[in-house]
Chain A
Amino acid sequence: MIFTIARHELRTMFLSPLAWVILGVMQMLLGYMFLAQIDSFFMLQPQLINLQNTPGVTDIVVAPMFQLSAIILLMVMPLITMRSIAEEKRNGTLSLLISSPLSMTEIVLGKFLGLFGFVVILVSLLMLMPLSLYSGTALDFGKLFSIFIAMLLLLGSFAAIGLYLSSLTENQTIAAVSTFGALLMLWMIDWLGDTVEDGQTVVAYLSLLRHHQSLLEGVFNTGDVAYYLLLIIAFLVLTVRQLDRERLL
């Protein structure tokens, strides 16, 4: 039943041009970035030969590219998540789901998995670019895999936050703007860490960026993964509670 809703969500997303446009624009921007990184790799190559323990293609080309993509997607994901519940509320179609024999958890999980399906498509398409390098050089597949997981977790938590904020309003624009604000806040929250003493550990722990960084570098730390999973679960629970609460208002 969850998958029925998820499939419907994903289909609806691709019925409007928005999903296609987002995929296209992401490919274009990151394609250019990829090209620029490869170019700089060729410039660096002569110097790298003399070093010991040199960083490989994966470190120089792929990791920065996905770091940039994370920032672009921080602006793009709110556009994907904004409609998921807000639109159904406005069009009155939410009552179709609510009066069907489904639990709120199933509805929310279905919605989230639909969004996550889009995330998987998006990241897989982006992954094709570094994979194309395999024809000419050796790749560090362990690191690539770590980057893939890092992106899925990061965008999954974007999606969960967006889904929750979309459940708070009927207005898609408000959902998008507040999601963007929340994501940006979580992204830059550790900027404060450098100036506030003692606060550093807490603030840094909350930051989406810190946890993302180490995964991009190929450090697969259980703490980082747990951070994202907890974030996703927390916002999904909040969404379920919000929808349940609305029946009481």
Chain B
Amino acid sequence: MASPALIKVENLSRFYQNHRAINHLSFTLNAGEVLGFLGPNGAGKSTTMQIITGNLAPSEGQVTINGFDIIEEPREAKAQIGYLPEHPPVYRDASVDEYLTYCAKLRRVARSDIPQALAQVKQSCALDEVGHRLIGNLSKGFQQRVGIAQAIIHNPPVVILDEPTVGLDPIQIREIRNLIKSLGEDRSVILSTHILSEVQATCDRVQIIREGELIYNAPIEALNHAKETCLTIAMKRPPSIETLQQLDHIVRVEAKDNQRFHLFFDSNSPAETVVQQSVAGDWGLFEMVPDQQSLEDLFIELTHHHPEEAEGVDE
């Protein structure tokens, strides 16, 4: 883990027949980073992950994992990653313990270390109570956790999770998120999803991909920061827009309807001033909401220019 970039994707392209699923994609994953991979369905998220894990061959470009090229030195490169595909690759007629032991052997965990690795992974994925049960009889949430356990049993420096929370109930989603967060403490994680709040909740950095091209790449703080530049207020007896515009720190004011206004501001929030002025001017302020939707806005703004691209492309 000496080099800072654990995964380096350079100029990656991938064709399915004549269709270009990935178009000159380049990015890096640094050590200890949780990278959120966002995109509409069929944008090429799964394809990218399958290429990184060696399940698909790239048409052009290069992927190196911890310094090992996935095509030239697949065995060394694959030893560095744990991969949870879209559908957890579990054998339904094996028990959780049998399955995870088999996975550990496949990943060349030393025979003497397997019991310990098994116990550890079951503990971190909360699988202790179902060790002897058949995977096919477990609920979707547990199967998903078995899938994650399978990806981390050999303690890889990089974990790649393809839509880990699809089809789970809200409690299970929260559990999986916490698990992903704890993974991110000592590993690098790539997480693909189209659920925006998931990225906001778990990731350090966001990448948005559309039609196989990287169109946005920034740390999550930048987004959180952007989030605070808009404040929505509602008043029973609103003053004129000009009055609002003259308040401190306000850059721009937009009227949403007769009572509601969006206040765009620079670095400092005008919330305090607004409340003071409202009391002084008897505006009847009854609602004040910092804008939460900006990742969604950003996502829609970036990905929605081409409505025709929403059709499925995966495989």
Contact = CB atoms under 8 A, between A and B. Distances in A.
B173 interface: no
A93 interface: yes
B67 interface: no
A4 B102 contact: yes
Contacts, number: 71
Contact of A96 (B56, B86, B108, B150): B150
Interface string A91-113: 11111111111110000000000
A196 interface: no
Interface stretch (A8-16, A35-43, A226-234): A8-16
Contact of B57 (A12, A15, A248): A248
A92 B55 contact: no
Contacts of B166: none
A99 B154 CA distance: 13
A128 interface: no
Contact of A4 (B57, B88, B94, B106): B106
A8 B74 CA distance: 23
Given A1-B106, A92-B89, A95-B83, A101 B56 contact: no
B85 interface: yes
A141 B59 CA distance: 58
Nearest to B80: A101
A98 B103 CA distance: 12
Interface string B44-60: 00000010011111000
B108 A1 contact: yes
Contact of A93 (B53, B78, B90, B108): B90
A95 B55 contact: yes
A102 B105 contact: no
Interface in A82-139: 91-103
B106 A96 contact: yes
Contact of A92 (B53, B85, B102): B85
Nearest to A244: B57
Interface in A192-220: none
A5 B92 CA distance: 17
Contacts of A91: 87, 89, 91-92
B78 A12 contact: no
Contacts of B75: 101-103
Nearest to B81: A99
Nearest to B83: A99
Given A93-B89, A100-B78, A247 B57 contact: yes
Given A1-B106, A96-B106, A102-B75, A12 B93 contact: yes
A96 B90 CA distance: 8
A99 B55 CA distance: 6
B89 A101 contact: no
Given A15-B93, A91-B89, A93-B91, A100 B107 contact: yes
Interface in B18-71: 50, 53-57
Contacts of A100: 78, 103, 106-107
Given A98-B55, A247-B56, A248-B57, A8 B102 contact: yes
B79 interface: yes
B76 interface: yes
A106 B85 CA distance: 22
For B81, B92, B93, B105, which residue has the most chain A Cβ atoms within 10 angstroms? B105
A8 to B, nearest CB: 6
B292 to A, nearest CB: 36
Given A8-B102, A95-B55, A101 B85 contact: no
A95 B87 CA distance: 10
Given A1-B106, A92-B85, A99 B54 contact: yes
16 contacts: A1-B106, A4-B102, A16-B93, A91-B89, A91-B92, A92-B86, A92-B89, A95-B50, A95-B83, A96-B106, A97-B106, A99-B83, A99-B85, A100-B107, A103-B75, A249-B16
Given A93-B91, A96-B150, A247-B57, 4 more contacts: A92-B89, A95-B53, A95-B55, A103-B74
Interface of A: 1, 4-5, 8, 12, 15-16, 91-103, 247-249
